[in-house]
Amino acid sequence: MSLAGEIEGLINPSIEALGFRVVRVKLFAAPSRTLQVMAEREDGSPVVVDECARISRAISAVLDVKDPIPGKFHLEVSSTGIDRPLVRPEDFDRYAGFEAMATVDPAQEGQRRFRGKLLGLVDGKVRFELKGDRMIDLPFACIGEAKLVLTDELVKAMTPSKDGRDEELE
């Protein structure tokens, strides 16, 4: 298991106890050592700044006791943002219909990077509609990173309506 995976296992119970879930844990070495924790509410909605601070305090307490990262590092807790990463299999179904990008390893059909309309997860493969109505199924296990692409359609779907109700994702 990677160090990021180990850390996620350590902090996940504390985050879940607060009513949130971990979206991604990532370690960066440069320009300074940073542990990035991205979280969302259990209902999938983004967290606000005060909630990030609350999560940060809970995570800090666990990391201080368990000390999984040797030496000094910065802790950064954030919301997913509109162009959120797609990490879990259910993310690919939840955001089907929106434009997304994915990087794969090994290459599929001679490519490592794909961008197109996300059509969901089918039999363990992430289906994309690429330019020219070309379809491709990328094995979920081969996806290194994937995220939504910031488009007007995505912004509209993620922005609360004027009457105070959030618009539903299709």
Domain boundaries, the chain: 3-79, 89-154
pLDDT for position 31: 80
What number does CATH give the domain 89-154?
Answer: 2.30.30.100
Mean pLDDT (the chain) is 92
Residues 40-58, mean pLDDT to the nearest whole number:
92
The reply to whether domains 3-79 and 89-154 share a CATH topology is no
Which are the contacts of 136, defined by CB distance < 8 A and separation ≥ 6?
108, 109, 114, 116, 127, 128, 130
Per-residue confidence at 170, pLDDT binned at 50, 70, 90?
very low
Report the candidate in 37, 1, 2 with the shortest Cα–Cα distance to residue 20: 37
pTM of the model: 0.83
Lowest mean pLDDT among 35-39, 59-63, 156-160, 164-168: 164-168
Per-residue confidence at 165, pLDDT binned at 50, 70, 90?
low
CATH C-level class of 3-79:
alpha beta
